[in-house]
RNA sequence: GGAAAGGUGGCUGAGUGGUUUAAGGCGCUGGACUGCUAAUCCGGUGUGGGACUUGUCCUACCGAGGGUUCGAAUCCCUCCCUUUCCGCCA
């Protein structure tokens, strides 16, 4: 959420930012609501001050044995007026808050300006494309022939997009999760969290999923809960309404993620390319405003380290203003090369939210002056599994249909070096 | 699922309708005293919002939301959460 005071004092910059984002935000309407709110507050608080004074004098009158009935009638009328104004104020405040909750974050000053994904610059890349002396086989065929997963049976019990892993395939999922968590906790300084996989409205609003993206999530309305689309939601909101004493905080968490993918029906439907349930290891940082930019760069490197250890060719792109996510101020995507798909697959999205989520979730710290201020939040996938599994399978395949496992995974696969 | 007791500042803990303007204690912090430390004494220590003369005033906040009243931390209603006991259960 943006600070209404910031909008008031930087109106032109906010308007420009929203245009660069292709976001339709009526900034003038926000300012009108803000002016109305402040007028009402002044009016109603003046009345309350008067009422408080008179009520106190009634207490004194009773003590002195005087009759307060005339004054009581008068104050009752004031009370009626106060109720009216209070209700109008509540309405205006609710409208303003709602409008702010639907307004995306300001892109950071370093975010490149651009229209859509075609304007995203490539920041760097690592490794190089594998050269296979045979036609690469798609992961869905490899998975079926090696019996690593059974997508038909997954669809039978839950629907398409709910993969079911078998045997060594299931173990590979578990091995990757364990490998990534160990790397982040033992070498990158993150503390592991095992959070709830469902969250309430407040948490979903805190990180920005609600109110705008409700239809992207699976809901359990009878309990007022949603299945989490990312560990970012529980791990960020665990500090909601708190004043944090020690910063920075680094957390990593494995969770399954649930996404309805409502807007992408019919796209990337084959195999594990785009699924409704997937495993992911997430990294989340809580920092001061001064260090967040640097911490964001470091977190992105932590995600890249996973891919380097697995020996996978990747590139890092930076999202331009037109492609930036709703809550993010700056974002790097990491993409893996998949030879049989003949394209890059996004496996990580590393974002700096500045104080946008912290203001929504009310997460603060005390700055050098001892004043409370909003912290900055940063998070990124470290990394998401299905497309990582695709890349491992398609890049490491042999002409006989077997797949070499990366050496870093051997200890986690009970010494197994090859899927054959 | 049933029963009971609770929810008050960073922590602890009083407060059953009107100098409560939330006592007292702990902690933190500034000062005084002091070879040093400790102890002691004095002062300051919540959050959001609004206004303007930027330093003050006003306003709201005692789990959340309603209600009664001139006036609610206090009385009433609904909900949430915590603890303990019972039941069920991986």
Query: Which residue has its C-alpha nearest to nucleotide B51's C1'?
Result: A42
For residue A62, give the nucleotide whose C1' atom is nearest its CA.
B18
Cα–Cα separations (whole angstroms), residue A411 to A1, A288, A391, A406: 45, 38, 20, 10
Contact predicate A257/A221, CB 8 Å: no
Residue A139 sits in the same domain as residue A53: no
Instruction: Render each residue's pLDDT in chain A as its tens digit; 420 residues.
Output: 999 999 999 999 999 999 999 999 999 999 999 999 999 999 999 999 899 888 888 887 887 777 778 888 888 888 889 988 988 998 899 899 999 999 999 999 999 999 999 999 999 999 999 999 999 999 999 999 999 999 999 999 999 999 999 999 999 999 999 999 999 999 999 999 999 999 988 899 999 999 999 999 999 888 888 999 999 999 999 988 888 888 899 999 999 999 998 877 677 789 999 999 999 999 999 999 999 999 999 999 999 999 999 999 999 999 999 999 999 999 999 999 999 999 999 999 999 999 999 999 989 888 877 788 899 999 999 999 999 999 999 999 999 999 999 999 999 999 999 999
Parallel/antiparallel/unpaired status of strands A225-227 and A418-419: unpaired
CA gap A179, A383 in Å, rounded: 11
Q: Which of chain A's residues 346-405 bind strand B, using a 7 Å CB cutoff?
A: 364, 371-372
Same domain, A191 and A257: yes
Nucleotide nearest to A4 (CA to C1'): B49
What's the CA–C1' distance between A389 and B17, in Å? 68
Distance A52 CA to B53 C1' (A): 25
Looking across all nucleic acid strands, the nucleotide with the smallest C1' to CA distance from residue A87 is B66
Which CATH number is A214's domain given? 3.30.930.10
Q: What number is the ipTM of this complex?
A: 0.85
| Cα A387 from Cα A394, distance rounded (Å) | 10
Residue that finishes a domain, picked among A101, A130, A164: A101
The number of domains in chain A is 2
Q: Are residues A69 and A201 in the same domain?
A: no
Q: Is the CB of A136 under 7 A from strand B?
A: no
* Backbone torsions φ then ψ of A319, nearest 5 degrees: -75, 135
The boundaries of the domain holding residue A42 are: 4-101
The domain spanning residue A79 has which CATH number?
1.10.287.40
- How many Å apart are A45 CA and B61 C1'? 15
Q: Which nucleotides in chain B lie closer than 7 A to a protein CB?
A: 10, 18, 47-51, 58-60, 66, 69-71
Q: Are strands A364-366 and A243-244 parallel, antiparallel or unpaired?
A: parallel
The predicted model scores a pTM of: 0.93
Is the CB atom of residue A41 positioned under 7 angstroms from any atom of strand B?
Answer: yes
Strand B and A54 CB separated by under 7 Å: yes
Measured CA to CA in angstroms, residue A154 lies from A119, A149, A226, A273, A385 at distances of 37, 9, 22, 15, 17
CA A89 → C1' B37, Å? Answer: 58
């Amino acid at each position: 959420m943006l600070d209404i005071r910031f909008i008031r004092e930087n109106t032109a910059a906010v308007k420009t930012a929203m245009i660069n984002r292709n976001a339709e935000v009526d900034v003038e309407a926000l300012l009108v609501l803000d002016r109305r709110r402040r007028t009402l507050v002044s009016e109603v608080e003046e009345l309350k001050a008067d009422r408080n004074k008179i009520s106190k004098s009634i207490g004194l009158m009773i003590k002195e044995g005087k009759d307060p009935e005339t004054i009581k009638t008068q104050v009752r009328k004031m009370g009626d007026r106060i109720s009216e104004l209070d209700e109008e104020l509540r309405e205006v405040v609710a409208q303003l808050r709602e409008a702010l909750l639907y307004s995306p974050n300001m892109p950071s000053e370093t975010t490149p300006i651009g229209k859509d994904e075609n304007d995203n610059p490539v920041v760097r890349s690592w490794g190089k494309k594998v050269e296979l002396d045979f036609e690469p086989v798609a992961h869905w065929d490899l998975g079926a022939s090696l019996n690593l997963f059974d997508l038909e049976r997954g669809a039978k019990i839950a629907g398409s997009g709910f993969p079911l892993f078998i045997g060594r395939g299931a173990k590979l999922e578990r091995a990757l999760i364990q490998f990534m968590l160990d790397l982040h906790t033992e070498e990158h300084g993150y503390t592991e969290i095992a959070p709830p996989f469902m969250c309430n409205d407040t948490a979903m609003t805190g990180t920005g999923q609600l109110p705008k993206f409700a239809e992207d999530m699976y809901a359990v309305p009878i309990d007022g809960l949603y299945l989490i689309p990312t560990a970012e939601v529980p791990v960020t909101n665990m500090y909601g309404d708190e004043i944090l004493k020690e910063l920075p905080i680094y957390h990593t968490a494995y969770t399954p993620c649930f996404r309805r993918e409502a807007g992408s029906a019919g796209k990337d439907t084959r195999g594990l390319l785009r699924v409704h349930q997937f495993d992911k290891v997430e990294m989340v940082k809580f920092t001061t405003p001064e260090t967040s930019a640097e911490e964001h760069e470091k977190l992105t490197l932590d995600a890249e380290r996973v891919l380097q250890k697995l020996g996978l060719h990747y590139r890092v792109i930076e999202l331009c203003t037109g492609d930036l996510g709703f809550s993010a101020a700056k974002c790097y995507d990491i993409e893996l090369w998949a030879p049989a798909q003949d394209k890059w697959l996004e496996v990580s999205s590393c974002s700096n939210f500045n104080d946008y989520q912290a203001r929504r979730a009310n997460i603060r710290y005390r700055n050098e002056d001892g004043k409370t201020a909003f912290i900055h939040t940063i998070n990124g996938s470290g990394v998401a599994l299905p497309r990582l599994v695709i890349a491992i399978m398609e890049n490491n395949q042999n002409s006989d249909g077997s797949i070499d496992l990366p050496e870093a995974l051997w200890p986690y696969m009970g010494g197994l070096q090859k899927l054959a």
